[in-house]
Amino acid sequence: MGQLSDDPERARRAAERSCGECSACCSVLRVDELAKPAGRDCVHQRSAGGCGIHELRPPICRAYHCLWLQGGLEDDERPDRTGGLVDLEAVGAGVQLSIRELRAGALDAEPALQAIAERYRNEMPVRVTDTADLEDPDRPFRVLLADGIEQRVAGERIEIFECGELREVRRMRWLERLGRRASIWRRRRALARLEKKGAS
């Protein structure tokens, strides 16, 4: 997994793939040019899947490629089939796998999504969120780690599980809290600008 960019099989799959009927990213992404907040359906999404302005879509839509489209997942692991949009994301000096559930509880309900998480969690953290309200800084998320460790985070509270058993409850460290609060401030400013743009 660590050498995904050098994987010739991945490159072959990526060259052969197109979004088809999947439009999961159209709901998940924030698109400032369309005044579309993250986690809300785009007005240009077609009911049967796909984009109504595909040829004229904004740059962020053109540039975005989920891990499936990049060839990093198996053919049958397209987001609309697994119930989760999967990406690799830079976090500080490292990388994590991000799974954004298209339906609440998708990870627990979908064996294909569980298989993806299991393949990656021993090499990097797997962060699981839903798309119910991406602008809510206190919405809960999960982090799956190696050796059956899982963190469930809500606000500044962290519950640590080992093989499904609750082992510890703690508050974020002060540096994590500071970083979280700075992130919330930046997100609120961006959302205010987006709402202002949508109103004009």
What global pTM score does this model have? 0.77
Determine the Cα–Cα distance for residues 94 and 183; give it in Å rounded to an integer.
18
| Alpha-carbon dihedral 109, 139, 94, 164, rounded to 10 degrees | -50
Predicted confidence band of residue 1 (pLDDT cuts 50, 70, 90): very low
Helix or strand or coil: residue 19? coil
Determine the Cα–Cα distance for residues 193 and 184; give it in Å rounded to an integer.
14
* Domain count across the chain: 1
Q: Are 126 and 144 in contact (CB under 8 A)?
A: yes
Q: What is the pLDDT of residues 54-99, one digit of tens each?
A: 888 899 888 999 999 999 999 999 999 999 999 999 887 889 999 9
Determine the Cα–Cα distance for residues 13 and 66; give it in Å rounded to an integer.
13
Q: Which domain holds residue 69?
A: 4-199
